[in-house]
Amino acid sequence: MTLSTRDALKQTALITDDERYVLVKLPAAAITLGAGVLAEVGSPFSAIIVDKDEVTLIVPDEAVEEFEKRLKGVAEVSASGYRLITFDIVLPPDLVGFMAAISAACARAGVSIIPLGAFSRDHILVGEAQFDLAMDALKTLIEQA
């Protein structure tokens, strides 16, 4: 049986932590630096995204302070902090519409998101100032599924 978006939402628990996350932009050639920093962060949540134009790290705020000497002059750090929301359900890779529903609920609430997909769970980052709005919108979405 294929899992529907509605069924997935009904089974979803929202998980967050007390961390403040930042986005760190590095030049595309700095992949080794980015991977090295990420390897040493030791946080339950962090990410590296590499594309042709840049390397992006998503790390707890204190990690930037810890690695400031290595990142100085190379990195651009987001000015605002983000909070993490994890959708605690194992999602099949062929599920259609789950993140669309999440995105639409947040958009209706006026919340900007940065969506991230892992192997079996999805996550979003939301600005600290919009965190409570996002959580309320997502709880409503799940209750109404």
In the predicted model, what is the mean pLDDT of residues 9-38?
Answer: 96
In the predicted model, what is the mean pLDDT of residues 13-26?
Answer: 96
10 Å Cβ neighbour count for 131? 18
Give the three-class secondary structure for 13: strand
**Contact indicator for 24, 74 with CB cutoff of 8 Å:** no
Is it true that 5-18+81-144 and 21-77 share their CATH fold?
yes
Domain locations in the chain as residue ranges: 5-18+81-144, 21-77
Q: Which residue has the tokens 């983000």?
A: 82
The confidence score (pLDDT) of residue 21 equals 97
**Contact indicator for 96, 132 with CB cutoff of 8 Å:** no
Instruction: Report d(CA 101, CA 98) in Å as an integer.
Output: 5
Write the pLDDT tens digit of every residue in 112-144. 999 999 999 999 999 999 999 999 999 999 999
Q: Among the CATH numbers 3.40.50, 3.30.70, 1.10.3470, 2.60.40, which is that of 21-77?
A: 3.30.70
Write the pLDDT tens digit of every residue in 24-80. 999 999 999 999 999 999 889 999 999 999 999 999 999 998 999 999 999 999 988
pTM: 0.94
Per CATH, the homologous superfamily of domain 5-18+81-144 is: ACT domain (3.30.70.260)
